[in-house]
Chain A
Amino acid sequence: TQLLEQSPQFLSIQEGENLTVYCNSSSVFSSLQWYRQEPGEGPVLLVTVVTGGEVKKLKRLTFQFGDARKDSSLHITAAQPGDTGLYLCAGASNEKLTFGTGTRLTIIP
């Protein structure tokens, strides 16, 4: 069974601070995705990383895929209240996704 552990599970920080969320697995994935989910909605894709060591930036969000394609991180710079949500990493293999345990992020104005 493939497991993706995210840390921290919960994070509450002040607006303007920086944060990093980690996603770790013992399995290798073809690609790794990050989703954000808001209450009452389905997850929405933020980014897909495919190559080991790959770094992608999406405005204030920086995503990194580990060299061995087993782990990933999401760094948010100068967090805003609009960043509040449930962040989920997901590993892709055989056309299916295995979702991580999730990180509930709250940005306090």
Chain B
Amino acid sequence: SAVISQKPSRDICQRGTSLTIQCQVDSQVTMMFWYRQQPGQSLTLIATANQGSEATYESGFVIDKFPISRPNLTFSTLTVSNMSPEDSSIYLCSATTGGWEQFFGPGTRLTVL
């Protein structure tokens, strides 16, 4: 298994600014992912964070808006750039250790004013 922490847990940001969310895993993992979730709704995959290379983005998400880093096997960051109120959401990090199960962080609740 893997225990995942995220920072910050929540933030309120002004339109036009950027926020970087950190995801730390307590052990080495194979894959890391970033999701977005509207409160009470399902999860939408933003991208797969690849260690040592550019992230793989899903349809509708682009690197300029959501740059992702993964410098090693236990850490990743997601930046939400040039934020607008439509970016208000919960952002979740997850990781796998080789099987199908994904372990999730507690999420970062972002509000953009």
Contacts and interface: CB of A to CB of B under 8 A. Distances in A.
Interface of A: 1, 30-31, 33, 40-45, 48, 86, 88, 92, 95-102, 104
A101 B106 contact: no
Interface in B44-91: 44-45, 48, 59
Contacts of A102: 40-42
Chain B interface size, under 10 / 10 to 19 / 20 to 34 / 35 or more: 20 to 34
Given A31-B100, A42-B107, A99-B45, 17 more contacts: A1-B59, A40-B107, A41-B106, A42-B103, A42-B105, A42-B106, A43-B102, A45-B102, A86-B40, A95-B31, A97-B33, A97-B102, A98-B45, A99-B44, A100-B42, A101-B42, A104-B40
Given A40-B107, A100-B42, A48 B4 contact: no
A42 B45 contact: no
5 contacts: A42-B105, A43-B43, A48-B101, A96-B33, A97-B33
A33 B100 contact: yes
Q: State the main secondary structure of chain B at its contact with A.
A: strand
Contacts of B40: 86, 102, 104
Contacts of A97: 33, 45, 102
The 5 closest A-B pairs by CB, nearest first: A42-B104, A99-B43, A102-B42, A99-B42, A45-B101
A33 B101 contact: yes
A40 B106 CA distance: 6
Contacts of B45: 96-99
Nearest to B43: A99
Which of B4, B31, B103, B104 counts the most chain A CB atoms within 10 A?
A: B104
Given A96-B48, A100-B42, A42 B92 contact: yes
A86 B90 CA distance: 15
Contacts of A42: 4, 92, 94, 103-107
A44 B106 CA distance: 10
A30 B99 CA distance: 12
Contacts of A86: 40
A58 to B, nearest CB: 14
